[in-house]
Structure 1
């Protein structure tokens, strides 16, 4: 059983860790604590270099990492000024491992769950031979990628149709903001006011996995569902009912 959940803030994002914790407390039999940014709390002299080692260098290459001096300096600056970082995908399992190594021994046990909300994009290598962006990586330390919420699930077909129309007419890819306005509300965008509510389910997935060994729910209208498209994410995380009949008994 999970007795203690420690949720770490991502202050450069709109994700509200305090609000997520308040949603969790009546639903789980555990103490839920909110802490400051994980990357500040457990930073050491090697963190920037180790993050550089987890960078995805190509969508179709399994090998990761670039530890050239300039890249390591970029990671140092991203730790100091996270609001300036972006445009990089990191190996989610490698990030999970390097963060977990930094926990004190007394914090590493199966009855304690650490959930760092991150302002980094995480990915996992797929059986199709390419990297896929993810929202969360499950385990005793379960990083949750805030930008992954916007980028990992595929956008609706209308988005790509509008993108194709603009490209056909102008010859250039239209600015993201133009497309977002034309398909307003159909998917989550950066700094979306629905971010915190959507992330509640992804943090609960981490608790559920550690307690039951069940990674996700197969029911599309359940907050434990692993959505691969934005429409499915909105249905699972932002629409009623919150849970399928099975998980409503446990969390509803």
Structure 2
């Protein structure tokens, strides 16, 4: 039983942890609090190396990580100055394990669920197809919710990829993402989207629901507890009514 939920801010993103906490308080039978960036509060001398060893090298290579001095120094700088981080994909389960080992003493049991909003891009390995898949969230303790993952993990509308291919054929180069985003009609979230906090509400609730029930996601595509693999599905589940399917409306509506 979750008695307390602790949300950690991701200050380099537009995600509003205070608004997420307020929304969550109205839906779960637990105390909900907000703290500063997890990596500011609980980093230690070895955490930079833990992030370096969690780096994904290739979409199709299961092995991850490096202990090369340059990579560890990069991660050390990123811990101190998160604005300098970016462009790196991490094994989400490895990052989760590293943060779990650094949870505050006395708060590591599931009665206190830690939900870490992060500016890191996370992925999990798919045994079914032998490749890494970007993720919005990695459920468990602590639960990780990747803000850039919200924009990048779910696939964009087909029109986006058609336009990308067409422009590449004409120019010989892939067009900038901003050009495509402004040129393509369709429903998808973009970096620093003003709808980010609203869209993350369901993912934060999923973290609590998973620990409470053991069920990772809802099968009803329109429910906030669903896990759409495409951006139009995210928009439908998180930004359009109804908030929940009938079953989850009884619990959280």
Instruction: Please give the TM-score of this superposition, normalised by the length of structure 2.
Output: 0.98
Output aligned runs, 1:39-118, within 5 Å: 39-118=39-118
Cα deviations by residue, 1:123-160 (Å, 9 ceiling, x for unpaired): 00002000000011111210111100001000100101
* In structure 1, distance between residues paired with 2:58 and 2:159: 28
The Cα shift of 1:170 comes to: 1.1
The Cα shift of 1:183 comes to: 2.1
Kept in 2: contact 1:216–1:224 (CA 8 A)? yes
Q: What secondary structure sits across from 2:94 in the alignment?
A: helix
The 4+ residue runs of structure 1 with deviation greater than 4 A are none
* In structure 1, distance between residues paired with 2:45 and 2:17: 27
The Cα shift of 1:104 comes to: 2.7
Kept in 1: contact 2:198–2:238 (CA 8 A)? yes
* In structure 2, distance between residues paired with 1:103 and 1:250: 29
Match of 2:190 in 1: 189
The Cα shift of 1:185 comes to: 5.8
Match of 2:226 in 1: 225
* In structure 2, distance between residues paired with 1:6 and 1:89: 25
* In structure 2, distance between residues paired with 1:69 and 1:171: 36
Kept in 1: contact 2:157–2:186 (CA 8 A)? no
Cα deviations by residue, 1:58-104 (Å, 9 ceiling, x for unpaired): 11110000110000010011111111211111000110010010013
Kept in 2: contact 1:112–1:140 (CA 8 A)? no
Match of 1:248 in 2: 249
Kept in 2: contact 1:57–1:66 (CA 8 A)? no
Gap runs ≥5 in structure 2: none
The number of residues matched between the two structures is 252
* In structure 1, distance between residues paired with 2:234 and 2:110: 28
Q: Is it true that 1:16 corresponds to 2:16 in the alignment?
A: yes
Q: What secondary structure sits across from 1:199 in the alignment?
A: helix
Q: Is it true that 1:180 corresponds to 2:175 in the alignment?
A: no
* In structure 1, distance between residues paired with 2:241 and 2:191: 23
Kept in 1: contact 2:202–2:224 (CA 8 A)? yes
Q: What secondary structure sits across from 1:132 in the alignment?
A: strand
Match of 1:138 in 2: 139
Match of 1:30 in 2: 30
Q: What secondary structure sits across from 2:179 in the alignment?
A: helix
The Cα shift of 1:168 comes to: 1.6
Q: What secondary structure sits across from 2:161 in the alignment?
A: helix
Kept in 1: contact 2:96–2:141 (CA 8 A)? no
Give the CA RMSD over aligned residues: 0.9
* In structure 2, distance between residues paired with 1:20 and 1:104: 22
Kept in 2: contact 1:221–1:241 (CA 8 A)? yes
Q: What secondary structure sits across from 1:7 in the alignment?
A: strand
Q: What secondary structure sits across from 1:105 in the alignment?
A: coil
